A = this chain, B = another copy of it.
Amino acid sequence: MKTEKISELTTNRLSVYLRCLNELSAAGVETISSQALAEQFNLNSAQIRKDLAYFGEFGVRGVGYYVRELRDHIRQILGLTTEHRIAVIGAGNLGLALANYQGFNVNSFRIVALFDSDPEKAGSVSRTGLPIYDMAQLSDIIRREGIDIVVIAVPAAAAENVFEQVMDAGIKAVLNFAPVLLNARPGVRVRSVDMAISLESLSYFLARPQNAGTSEADDALNGFQYQDAAGTEVGGNQQVTG
């Protein structure tokens, strides 16, 4: 176990491992080797062992990893043992779709509020029963509901202003869907999902005939291919979103 700082690539992979471990556990598998796990993702087994070794010695030589035990360790590492409460800002198509989305860990994340600046929407209730509040109530509701993660699903032009309000309200973690670069204050983490960048990446691929014949998956986990369900990397120490 080391104490260096952990790369985001590593934590992205932990999420992927966790998903797989959940399936293995449900399937009744008791142990798994780094080699067997690696084959699921076209990864190198040393990569997996190294990712895990940052956080402790979870494996048993000659045996592999105990699935349930490792799953629980990763949950702990990722902070998924306590529920995170989420507000979605922007009750447009995207915001409402996200509010209904069941794709993420149901146990660890719960969307509890929607916000919109449109007075027509504020005060009403979404189709799935979530209250829609006015932006002016942001601070109060965040405190009252114990919200610790905010999703920004507003048009690009409004995102920066909304982001400032969110930081003013004390939120430290933001998932941004607006195609803009948000400048985070110290102690605030932004993760962006930028569909334009992803589509343009595909366009670039299609524009190069020499790519034909090569199979490519984004490193994504942003490529989540894991995949990038959540973000696009551009490198650098600032978010640029993809």
Contact = CB atoms under 8 A, between A and B. Distances in A.
Interface of A: 8-9, 11-16, 18-19, 40-44, 47, 77-80, 84, 86, 93-94, 96-98, 100-101, 103-105, 108-109, 148-149, 155-156, 172-179, 181-208, 211-242
A89 to B, nearest CB: 15
Contact of A229 (B11, B84, B183, B194): B194
Count of identical protomers in the assembly: 2
A213 to B, nearest CB: 5
Given A190-B225, A212-B172, A197 B230 contact: yes
A195 to B, nearest CB: 5
B185 A11 contact: no
A235 B48 CA distance: 12
Given A182-B225, A241-B225, A109 B234 contact: no
Contact of A200 (B78, B212, B234): B78
A12 B190 CA distance: 18
Contacts of A232: 12, 220-233
